[in-house]
Structure 1
Amino acid sequence: MANSMKIRAKSKNGVANIKVLITHPMEGGGRKDSKTGEPIPAHFIQEVVFDINGSTAMTANLSGGVSKNPYLNVKAAANPGDKLKVSWVDNKGESDSIEADIK
C-alpha cells in the first residue's frame, strides 16, 4: 500500500506533535456483504511504530475496532530537525512507512 499515509510533525519546547492519517479499510470481520451475504474478511492494521532518530518512541497496537482511515495524534520528545519514521503492518502482512523531518 504505497503512499497510504500523510504526516505532519512539529516540535515546540522539546515536544513533537505528530499527526498521521492512514488510508486503510480497517475491516473488523464482523460484517456481511449486502449483495452476497458472505462475511467480509477481517483486514485491519495491527501495529503502528513511531521511530525518532532510529529509536522507537512509541508502538500502538490496533484492532478491527478502529474505524476506516485511522487518524493518530501522538506527542513525543523530539526537536526540530529530528528524523521521524512511522510504519504500520496489518493482519494480512501488508505494510507501509513514511519518513519526515520534524519541523
Structure 2
Amino acid sequence: MANSERVKVRIPSKAKKGEIIEIKTQLSHDMETGLRKDGAGKTIPRHIIARFTCTWNNEPVISSDWHQAVSANPFASFFALATSSGKIKLSWFDENGETLEYIHDIIVE
C-alpha cells in the first residue's frame, strides 16, 4: 500500500452507473535521471517510476510507461466509465523493483 504522504488522489466515492468519472493522482517522487550531481560532485543514481497502471475490479483502465523525461512529482489525470462497485487500484512501478499501490473503494448506484 502506498504511503499516504507520498500519494495524492482525487477519486469520487460514489458514481452513477454509466457516469464518466475523473481520476486524478500525484505521486511525490524525485524522478532522478542519473544526470545530476550532488554537492560533492558525485552523480545522483537514476531512480524513476517506469510504469503506472490503474485497474477497476482487476480490469485495466489505463497503463502507461514513463521515462526519464517525466517531471518530478508526476501527475496523472484520466477518465473512467463507472460500471460496477468495487475497487480502483493505482500502481506505480519503479526501476528498482519497488511498487507503490493505492486502493480506493467506489460505490456505483
TM-score scaled to structure 1, two decimals?
A: 0.85
Does structure 2 retain, via aligned residues, the 8 Å contact 1:52–1:78?
Answer: no
Residue among 6, 15, 34 paired with 1:29: 34
RMSD: 2.0
Give the counterpart letter for 1:50 in structure 2: C
- Rounded to whole Å, the distance in 2 between the matches of 1:2 and 1:8 is 15
- Rounded to whole Å, the distance in 1 between the matches of 2:41 and 2:57 is 48
Against the structure 1 CA distance between its residues 102 and 16, is the aligned structure 2 distance closer, same or farther, given a 3 Å change threshold? farther
Residue segments in structure 2 that go unaligned for 5+ positions in a row: none
Q: How far did residue 58 of structure 1 move?
A: 0.9
Q: What are the superposed Cα offsets for residues 21-51 of structure 1, whole Å, 9 maximum, x if unpaired?
A: 1111111111111x21111111000001100
TM-score scaled to structure 2, two decimals?
A: 0.81
Q: How far did residue 6 of structure 1 move?
A: 2.1
- The DSSP-based 3-state class of the residue aligned with 2:11 is strand
Please list every run of at least 4 consecutive aligned residues from structure 1 whose deviation after the TM superposition is greater than 3 angstroms: 10-13, 79-82
Residue segments in structure 1 that go unaligned for 5+ positions in a row: none
Question: What fraction of aligned residue pairs are identical, expressed as a percent?
Answer: 35
- Rounded to whole Å, the distance in 1 between the matches of 2:27 and 2:106 is 18
Matched, 1:42 2:46: yes
The number of residues matched between the two structures is 102
Residue among 5, 12, 26 paired with 2:7: 5
Q: How far did residue 96 of structure 1 move?
A: 0.7
